[in-house]
């Protein structure tokens, strides 16, 4: 292969990679940079015991809900009325939480219906950490304060805070 051919193929590969990044960023921004979500509902579950669904009354209430998880090995789910956009927070250790932002819907490309699940972490390094349903990676661990910040920003429709990262898993 000639040098010219190698340069052309490298340019094509670089363009494909950029297109893939652009598609991801476009969908990620579409999910996380929405207007405030009206009609949010929450539920806490511990060992299969659920609190039932309750309407979110304020951002301050969201803070209190996350703090209720501390030391309980419990889960908090917050979702919109249709259940198509949601956040799940799981306590995995002492003041360590895993937060997932999800979207259930139809992707604009060839994938069709699916669940898009982003695990959020405190740094951009979280973007490179694996996102697997059956295990948690330390790069995704948040403190209660960080989990509250991400949850409140998501509920307000402003996306994840600057400096945080997220890795995607599609079901």
Dump pLDDT digits (tens) for 110-163.
555 678 889 999 999 999 999 888 889 999 999 999 999 999 999 988 888 999
Residue span of the structural domain in which 70 resides: 33-170
For 18-44, what is the mean pLDDT?
59
Under the banding of pLDDT at 50, 70 and 90, the label for residue 65 is: very high
CA distance 170 to 147: 22
In a domain, 13, yes or no: no
In a domain, 9, yes or no: no
Helix (H, G, I), strand (E, B) or coil at 134: coil
Select from 66, 60, 98, 105 the least CA-distant residue to 83.
105
| DSSP output for 55-113 | E---HHHHHHHHHHHTTTT-EEEEE-TTSSEEEEEEEEETTEEEEEEEEEEE-SSTT-E
pTM of the model: 0.74
- What pairing do the DSSP bridges indicate for beta strands 96-106 and 85-93? antiparallel
Under the banding of pLDDT at 50, 70 and 90, the label for residue 83 is: confident
Task: Report how many domains make up the chain.
Answer: 1
In a domain, 105, yes or no: yes
As a residue count, the chain comes to 171
In a domain, 16, yes or no: no
In a domain, 112, yes or no: yes
Q: Look at residue 96 in the predicted model and tell me its pLDDT.
A: 93
Whether 26 has a pLDDT exceeding 50, the answer reads no
pLDDT single digits (tens) 38-51:
789 999 988 777 78
């Amino acid at each position: 292969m000639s040098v010219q051919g190698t340069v052309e193929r490298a340019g094509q590969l670089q363009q494909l990679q950029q297109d893939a990044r652009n598609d991801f960023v476009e969908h990620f921004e579409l999910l996380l940079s929405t207007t405030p979500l009206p009609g949010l509902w929450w539920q806490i579950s511990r060992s299969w015991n659920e609190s039932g669904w309750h309407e979110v009354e304020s951002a301050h209430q969201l803070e209190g809900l996350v703090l209720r998880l501390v030391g309980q090995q419990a889960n908090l789910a917050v979702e919109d009325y249709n259940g198509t956009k949601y956040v799940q927070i799981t306590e995995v250790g002492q003041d360590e939480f895993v937060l997932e932002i999800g979207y259930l819907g139809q992707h604009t490309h060839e994938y069709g219906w699916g669940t898009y699940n982003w695990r959020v972490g405190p740094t951009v390094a979280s973007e490179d950490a694996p996102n697997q349903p059956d295990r948690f990676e330390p790069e995704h661990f948040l403190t209660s304060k960080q989990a509250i910040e991400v949850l409140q920003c998501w509920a307000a429709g402003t996306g994840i805070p600057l400096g945080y990262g997220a890795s995607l898993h599609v079901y």
